[in-house]
Structure 1
Amino acid sequence: MRILVNEEPREVTTATLAGLLDELGYGDARVATAVDGAFVPASRRASWTIDEGARIEILAPMQGG
Structure 2
Amino acid sequence: MNVIVNGEHVEIPKNVATVSNLLQHFELDQKVVIVEWNATILEKADHQETRVSDGDRIEIVHFVGGG
When normalised by structure 1's length, the TM-score is 0.89
- Structure 1 runs not aligned, ≥5 long: none
Classify the secondary structure of the residue corresponding to 2:60.
Answer: strand
Q: How many residues align?
A: 65
Percent identity, please: 26
CA displacement at 1:27 relative to structure 2: 2.0
How do residues 1-65 of structure 1 correspond to structure 2 at under 5 angstroms?
A: 1-13=1-13, 14-61=16-63
- Structure 2 runs not aligned, ≥5 long: none
RMSD of the TM alignment (CA)? Answer: 1.6
Classify the secondary structure of the residue corresponding to 1:26.
Answer: coil
User: Which whole-Å CA distance do the structure 1 matches of 2:25 and 2:64 have between them?
Assistant: 23
CA displacement at 1:19 relative to structure 2: 0.0
User: Which whole-Å CA distance do the structure 2 matches of 1:63 and 1:29 have between them?
Assistant: 12
Classify the secondary structure of the residue corresponding to 1:43.
Answer: helix
